[in-house]
């Protein structure tokens, strides 16, 4: 938690926190959402709707386990259908949470302090969704532990030269580190909830979760070191995760996959879709929970600008791909270009260019990017666009690679769609629960942003020297 | 002089500046077995009570080195000794392919060491602590700052220490029963 001594309140920019708040009002306002706000019909209906989708997901998954992966549209030549598309999409969404909580922390971007908590929760749930797809795709998911190196009676080991094994390590490390990062951030706030509540049972639960945190400055000192170290570790980690995901493709020789632009282009795409999801969540959350004081227009606009910037990196990636297809002179790569533009999935390629490159250009207009309604729609559009991007990469390349005789088509089935929509249900149901059970905005970090947190007295050492 | 039923004296403050000034004076008066509480991380306050360095970074480094060497040695051992597979005569010890898992395990082990090291050095989890016996202490996570002088400090005296704390502009001074 970087402690900025000055909160920049520019003439043009909205403040990161509305003036007039004190330590007490921050605590009360955020704790009240969890402790005192009654369960409202809107929340209940929303949660039940998402929970129903989650039940549908469970049904689809049971059917999948009962019948096997044949219930999906995957077959030769397309062995990687929706499962891998969804995996890459979800894990990319998770990346924005880590970017906000770790990279912006290291860059001392004070505005991240009010959106990092739910962005981290978003990361956690998104990575959980992502992690399900490779497991579902295994065919025999109950043997998933064969992926890990453990001494076994079969006397064999995973193949450490395979990008798929790298992926196992990258994603499981990412999930673990995201979880501890999020939890460490929560400890002081759980202690706040423990101290704020009047209900004995609630006090017991938050007391247990906060592990007896008592706000000692000695503890804070070590806590800050650990938090900063975690941020420093999560930064290369998050860049490595999508890089490793892109290796799943680029290590292979399939046309359209075997390219060195993939790692940076995947990471940029991940942050692009992640910020879109942050906005899709932040815009309704701050409205319905009346926390516009903490998640201000400044946060919304900054996120929109990050989207615009990373969107251009992605656009550059598309450009370079097309250029290399042509300039490289490889006939299969040239054919891939033709296939994307004129093949059976051409409509979706144009849809991708429209949703991912054309529409987000509206963000150049300040009035649009500060208008929550339009920004929400553009963010949804980017999420669709990024999903289409992964679909184009996975499916178009696989349907038509080297041999004309092995050309094929890919048709997703009801189960493919159910699993995709089902993870959305899982994700949103988790977010609904998170909003009611845990503080959605970091209480202790927000306190460092108000003027009362500024120290004006002499430095300790100067006094000790006297 | 020491009363075993008393854990220490707890003074309550309501602003950053008063608590830091008070902490500096407590330290200057020779008290060393002291602690301070703040609802958010306040470096200046921990400096004022003479606590600046901590061992978390070292624990993290050791964990990271263990993860790094462990992962690399494991891959080397698997691919050259336990389960060598000859793929077109390529070397068994193909180190570039091992970098990624080594990197990920370095991050995993150093991250977990930082977190568990921090918790262990802080002595957490510890659900019960004498300071929680003071009713005002609930505000330590809301908007109040506290300084405690433990009764185990050699300069501690129930009367004089209390009088000293009263001079520092606290909102209240309370005895912490142990």
Together in a domain, B60 and B117: yes
At A458 the pLDDT is 65
Q: Is any Cβ of chain B less than 8 angstroms from the Cβ of A164? A: no
In angstroms, the separation between the Cα of residue B1 and the nearest Cα of chain A is 26
Are A224 and B43 a contacting pair at CB < 8 A?
Answer: yes
In chain A, what residues touch B27 (CB-CB under 8 Å)?
A: 460, 464
Q: Is any Cβ of chain B less than 8 angstroms from the Cβ of A217? A: yes
- The closest CB to that of A230, out of B42, B55, B115, belongs to B115
Q: For residue A206, is it within any domain?
A: yes
Closest CA to A161 of B80, B98, B85: B98
Q: For residue A327, is it within any domain?
A: yes
**Full domain range(s) for residue A37:** 23-465
Coil, helix or strand for B45? helix
Together in a domain, B81 and B116: yes
ipTM above 0.85, yes or no: yes
Together in a domain, B60 and B105: yes
User: Predicted confidence band at B2 (pLDDT cuts at 50, 70, 90)?
Assistant: low
- The closest CB to that of B111, out of A177, A192, A459, belongs to A177
Searching chain A, which residue's CA lies closest to the CA of residue B28? A464
- Residue from B110, B142, B169 whose CB has the most chain A CBs within 10 Å, to mutate: B142
Q: Any idea which of A20-34, A447-461, B3-17, B106-120 has the lowest mean pLDDT?
A: A447-461
Together in a domain, B60 and B27: no
Together in a domain, B90 and B115: yes
| pLDDT tens, per residue, chain A with 466 residues | 444 444 444 445 677 777 778 888 888 888 888 887 888 888 899 999 999 999 999 999 999 999 999 999 998 889 898 999 999 999 999 888 888 888 888 888 877 777 888 888 999 999 999 999 999 998 888 998 988 888 888 888 898 988 989 999 999 999 999 999 999 989 999 998 888 888 889 889 998 998 989 889 889 999 999 999 999 999 999 999 999 999 999 998 899 899 889 999 999 999 999 999 999 998 998 888 877 788 888 888 989 999 999 999 999 999 999 999 999 889 999 999 999 999 999 999 999 999 999 999 999 999 998 889 999 999 999 999 999 999 999 999 999 989 999 899 999 999 999 999 999 999 999 999 998 888 888 888 888 888 887 777 766 455 554 4
Together in a domain, B116 and B166: no
Q: For residue B45, is it within any domain?
A: yes
CATH code, domain carrying B155: 3.30.70
Pairs across A and B, CB distance < 8 A: 225
A81 within 8 A of A72, measured Cβ to Cβ? yes
Q: For residue B39, is it within any domain?
A: yes
Together in a domain, B16 and B67: no
At B104 the pLDDT is 95
Q: For residue A281, is it within any domain?
A: yes
Are A195 and B78 a contacting pair at CB < 8 A?
Answer: no
Together in a domain, B60 and B113: yes
- The closest CB to that of A208, out of B24, B121, B127, belongs to B127
CATH code, domain carrying A95: 1.20.1630.10
Domains identified in chain B, total number: 2
In angstroms, the separation between the Cα of residue B157 and the nearest Cα of chain A is 23
**Full domain range(s) for residue B30:** 6-53+129-177
Domains identified in chain A, total number: 1
In angstroms, the separation between the Cα of residue A60 and the nearest Cα of chain B is 33
Q: For residue B67, is it within any domain?
A: yes
In chain A, what residues touch B143 (CB-CB under 8 Å)?
A: 22-24, 27
- Residue from B12, B96, B107, B133 whose CB has the most chain A CBs within 10 Å, to mutate: B107
Together in a domain, B115 and B133: no
Say which residue, B161 or A89, is predicted with more confidence: A89
In angstroms, the separation between the Cα of residue B107 and the nearest Cα of chain A is 6
Together in a domain, B28 and B116: no
In angstroms, the separation between the Cα of residue A2 and the nearest Cα of chain B is 9
At B66 the pLDDT is 96
Q: For residue A211, is it within any domain?
A: yes
Q: For residue A3, is it within any domain?
A: no
Residue A125 to residue A90: CA distance in whole angstroms: 9
Q: For residue B24, is it within any domain?
A: yes
Residue that finishes a domain, picked among B121, B146, B167: B121
Are A455 and B78 a contacting pair at CB < 8 A?
Answer: no
Are B16 and A455 a contacting pair at CB < 8 A?
Answer: yes
- The closest CB to that of B110, out of A194, A224, A233, belongs to A233
Closest CA to A92 of A357, A269, A258: A269
Residue B125 to residue B120: CA distance in whole angstroms: 8
Together in a domain, B47 and B60: no
Q: For residue A9, is it within any domain?
A: no
Residue B79 to residue A117: CA distance in whole angstroms: 42
In chain A, what residues touch B40 (CB-CB under 8 Å)?
A: 1, 23, 188, 220, 444-445, 447-448, 453
Q: For residue B1, is it within any domain?
A: no
In chain B, what residues touch A155 (CB-CB under 8 Å)?
A: 83
């Amino acid at each position: 938690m970087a402690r900025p001594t000055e909160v920049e309140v520019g003439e043009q920019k909205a403040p990161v926190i509305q003036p007039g708040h004190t330590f007490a009002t921050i605590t009360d306002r955020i704790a009240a959402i969890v402790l005192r706000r009654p369960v409202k019909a809107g929340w209940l209906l929303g949660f039940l709707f998402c929970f129903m989708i989650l039940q549908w997901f469970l049904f689809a998954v049971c059917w999948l386990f009962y019948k096997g992966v044949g219930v999906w549209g995957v077959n030769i030549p397309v062995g990687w259908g929706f499962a891998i598309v969804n995996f890459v999409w979800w894990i990319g969404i998770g990346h924005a949470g880590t970017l906000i909580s770790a990279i912006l922390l290291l860059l001392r971007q004070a505005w991240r302090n009010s959106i990092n908590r739910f962005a981290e929760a978003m990361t956690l749930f998104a990575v959980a969704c992502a992690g399900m797809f490779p497991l579902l795709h295994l065919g025999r998911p109950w043997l998933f532990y064969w992926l890990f190196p453990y001494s076994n009676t079969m006397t064999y080991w995973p193949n450490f030269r395979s990008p798929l094994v790298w992926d196992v390590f990258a994603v499981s490390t990412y999930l673990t580190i995201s979880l501890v990062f999020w939890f460490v951030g929560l400890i002081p706030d759980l202690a706040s909830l423990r101290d704020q509540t009047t209900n004995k049972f609630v006090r017991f639960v938050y007391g247990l979760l906060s592990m007896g945190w008592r706000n000692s400055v000695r503890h804070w000192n070590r806590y800050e070191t650990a938090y900063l170290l975690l941020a420093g570790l999560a930064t290369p980690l998050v860049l490595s995760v999508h890089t490793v995901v892109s290796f799943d493709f680029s290590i292979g020789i399939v046309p359209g996959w075997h390219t060195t632009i993939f790692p940076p282009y995947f990471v940029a795409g991940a942050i692009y879709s992640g910020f879109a999801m942050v906005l899709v969540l932040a815009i309704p959350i701050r409205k319905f929970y009346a926390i516009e004081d903490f998640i201000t227009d400044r946060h919304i606009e900054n996120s929109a600008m990050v989207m615009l910037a990373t969107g251009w990196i992605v656009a550059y990636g598309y450009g370079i791909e097309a250029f290399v297809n042509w300039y490289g002179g490889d006939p299969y790569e040239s054919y891939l270009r033709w296939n994307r533009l004129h093949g059976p999935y051409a409509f979706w390629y144009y849809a991708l260019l429209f949703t991912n490159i054309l529409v987000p250009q509206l963000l150049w207009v300040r009035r649009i990017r500060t208008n929550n309604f339009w920004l929400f729609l553009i963010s949804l559009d980017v999420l669709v666009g990024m999903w289409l991007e992964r679909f184009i990469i996975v499916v178009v390349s696989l349907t038509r690679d080297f041999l004309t005789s092995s050309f094929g088509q890919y048709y997703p089935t009801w189960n493919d769609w159910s699993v995709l929509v089902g993870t959305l249900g899982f994700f949103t149901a988790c977010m609904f629960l998170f909003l009611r059970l845990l503080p959605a905005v970091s209480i202790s970090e927000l306190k460092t942003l108000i003027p009362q947190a500024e120290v004006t007295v002499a430095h300790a050492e100067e006094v000790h020297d006297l | 002089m020491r009363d075993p039923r008393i854990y220490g004296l707890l003074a309550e403050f309501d602003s950053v500046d008063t608590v830091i000034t008070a902490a500096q004076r407590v330290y200057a008066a020779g008290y060393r077995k002291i602690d301070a509480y703040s609802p958010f991380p306040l470096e200046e306050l921990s400096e004022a009570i003479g606590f600046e360095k901590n061992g978390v970074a070292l624990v993290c480094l050791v964990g990271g080195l263990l993860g790094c060497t462990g992962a690399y040695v494991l891959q080397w051992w698997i691919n050259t000794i336990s389960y060598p597979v000859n793929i077109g005569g390529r070397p068994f010890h193909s180190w570039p392919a091992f970098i990624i898992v080594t990197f990920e395990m370095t991050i995993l082990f150093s991250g977990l060491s930082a977190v568990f090291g921090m918790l262990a050095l802080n002595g957490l989890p510890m659900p019960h602590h004498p300071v929680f016996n003071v009713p005002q202490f609930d505000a330590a996570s809301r908007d109040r700052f506290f300084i405690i002088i433990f009764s185990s400090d050699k300069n501690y005296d129930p009367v004089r220490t209390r009088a000293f704390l009263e001079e520092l502009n606290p909102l209240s001074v309370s005895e912490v029963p142990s």
